[in-house]
Amino acid sequence: MGKLNQANVYLLYGEESYLIQENKNKIIEQNLHKEDQEFNISQYDLEEVPIEDVVTDAETYPFLGDKKVVIAYHPVFLKGKPDKLPFEHDVDALLEYVKQPADYTVLVLIAPYEKVDERKKIFKSLKKQGEVISCQPVKEWDIDQWIQTLARELHITVPESIHELFANEIGTNLMALRKEMEKLALNVGEGGVVSKELAEQLLSHSAEASGLKLVDAVMEKDLGRAVRLFKDLEKLNEEPIALTALLASQFRIISQAKVLKQKGYGQNQMRSYIKAHPYVIKMAMKRERYFTDHELNEIMEQLAETDHTLKQGKMEKSLAFEMLLYRLINIKQSQTNLS
């Protein structure tokens, strides 16, 4: 991430916490010497403090040094429908300040929201007078670029052949990706190359990634692997009810992808109909060809039945989930034998 444009007022908005954190740190580094950071950074939560108090601080001279950074989180007045608070924000006070910001203060508004209302006067003013930086989650097709960028920063090499493994295990959460890359960098050392074996061994496994692995074990009719995956998830305190719901969600998306594909829809068009991350849809399209419509209907019935059994407490939970895995794989084998 390169140098930011110099400004006296910034708005960072979006749901990608890694990008917000990185940009915030860059703003601080570009404006304050290390020794001044302890005294010349103030932070506010605008769900608890009115914006006019923040403006007053921004207009006050620094305690020590010649510059200060004032950070204000959750500017709810930038949302289309602002949250109800026990007080009103005097947005006009901020509008006036943005027109003529103090040259000794850098004001940073942090809006960790999916959207802000760009039609609002205050947003237009921030865009015109200051610097507005979008910090949205990465798209799945950007993940390769981010792996390479982080690898360069950490002075390690991650071969392209294992990028999909990262995407499968971590998804597109940049903060999580950064932590995993740092862990690998510690293991291989500066200039080291990350092998597939090391990545498989060290990458933290998300529940969603494990859900896909369970789907694959069913697809490959590998009961032993499915049960081993389940036992690993149990050790991580994953509940059978939650895992059943996770499997149901994965198979539902696979079913939807299959139906839409039969109607001639491409991956991009499917996004309007399937409420899931583009990467999850891409994975579903890879898997749908291994299941017939009949198999998917049977699988969904078994999942609904097990969900009911678990919630009614009719059977010991672990046993009920293992029985479910057995029945799902049996559906695949029965169909294979018939064909």
Q: Over the chain, what is the mean pLDDT?
A: 86
Tokens in use for 24? 């915030």
Is a pLDDT exceeding 90 seen at residue 78? yes
Provide the 8-state DSSP code for 45.
Answer: E
Amino acid, single-letter form, for residue 246: L
Check if 9-134 and 207-338 are the same fold. no
| Model pLDDT, residue 197 | 83
Is a pLDDT exceeding 90 seen at residue 52? yes
pTM score above 0.85: no
Which pairing describes strands 131-134 and 41-45: parallel, antiparallel, or unpaired? unpaired
CA count, 13 A, side-chain hemisphere, 233: 26
Burial 70-101 (b: 16+ CB within 10 A, else e): bbbbbbbbbbeeeeeeeeebebebbbebbeeb
Residues of the chain with pLDDT > 70, as a percent, come to 91
Residue ranges of the alpha helices (H) in the chain? 17-31, 51-59, 91-99, 121-129, 143-153, 163-170, 174-188, 196-202, 207-219, 223-235, 240-262, 267-270, 278-288, 293-312, 317-338
Is a pLDDT exceeding 50 seen at residue 22? yes
Mean pLDDT of 90-102: 95
- Measured in degrees and rounded to the nearest 5, phi and psi for residue 87 equal -145, 165
**Residue 272 CB neighbour total at 10 angstroms:** 9
Mean pLDDT of 218-241: 84
Is a pLDDT exceeding 80 seen at residue 202? no
pLDDT digits (tens, 9 = 90+) for 265-316: 988 888 888 877 676 788 888 889 889 999 999 999 999 999 999 988 888 9
Provide the 8-state DSSP code for 3.
Answer: P
Mean pLDDT of 161-185: 79
Mean pLDDT of 121-140: 87
Domain residue ranges of the chain, discontinuous segments joined by +: 9-134, 140-202, 207-338
- Of 64-78, 124-138, 173-187, 199-213, the range with the highest mean pLDDT is 64-78
Residues of the chain with pLDDT > 90, as a percent, come to 46
CATH class of 9-134: alpha beta
Between residues 9 and 64, the one the model is more confident about: 9
Just give the CATH number of 140-202. 1.10.8.60
| Model pLDDT, residue 164 | 76
Is a pLDDT exceeding 80 seen at residue 248? yes
| Model pLDDT, residue 339 | 47
- 246: confidence class by pLDDT, cuts 50, 70, 90: confident
Just give the CATH number of 207-338. 1.20.272.10
pLDDT digits (tens, 9 = 90+) for 313-330: 888 999 999 999 999 998
Between residues 335 and 95, the one the model is more confident about: 95
Distance CA 280, CA 49 (A): 39
| Model pLDDT, residue 65 | 80
Burial of 40 (0-12, 13-18, 19+ CB in 10 A): buried
CA count, 13 A, side-chain hemisphere, 27: 28
Mean pLDDT of 189-202: 85
Q: Which residues pair with 70 in a beta bridge?
A: 42, 107
